[in-house]
Amino acid sequence: MNEDVKSLLVAARNAGRDAVFVETDGFDKTMISILLSTYNDEQDKYQEIHKILEEANTEISITPFALNRLNSSGCIKTNLYPLSIPSDIFTFEIAFPQNETPWNFLKSRIKGKDIIAIPYKGKVFAFGYSEHIHQAFSDCLKEDSISRLPLSINELKGNQALKSVRN
């Protein structure tokens, strides 16, 4: 461990914080591992990723993670959190202006708000609170109605446009 990292750990601990250092083989390997585990169930995507990595001449070696055996008297804290997708998404129709692309129009309407939205098949699909969505789009709604559409993981996996909503 280099001296800069050691001094950072000491400073954090002196400030009353918990601080540890976990050595990895590097950022690229970590990101590749995360990417591969994300598409582990989708064999075609998994193979496509491997093909791209082979073409880029990127070696994927797995380094086992090992901890020195210590007597533990407490719980181990982690930064691994379960994720869940929303069970539904809001859909509505709006009148898009002629002088602006739907994407740019949506971006300008949701800027600075806790809303994520995309144009899709003549409608807008959005995540956020319905009140916030209504405030952002009330003056251009075709109908005064914002609907909820049930959403499943299979729909997200198979639909590239809906996948982009989460980004």
Residues 4-55 pLDDT 10s: 889 999 999 999 998 888 776 676 777 788 888 888 778 888 888 888 888 8
DSSP state letter for 83: -
Distance of CA 99 to the CA centre of its chain: 31
CB 117 within 8 A of CB 125: yes
List the 116-120 sheet strands across, edge first: 116-120, 123-127, 88-92, 147-150
Q: Kindly report the pTM of this predicted structure.
A: 0.47
Instruction: Please tell me the predicted confidence (pLDDT) of residue 40.
Output: 77
pLDDT tens, residue by residue, 52-85 = 888 877 666 666 666 666 665 555 566 666 667 7
Top pLDDT among 100 and 23 is at 100
Ranges for all domains in the chain classified under CATH 3.30.70: 88-165
Classify domain 88-165 by CATH number. Answer: 3.30.70
CB 136 within 8 A of CB 113: yes
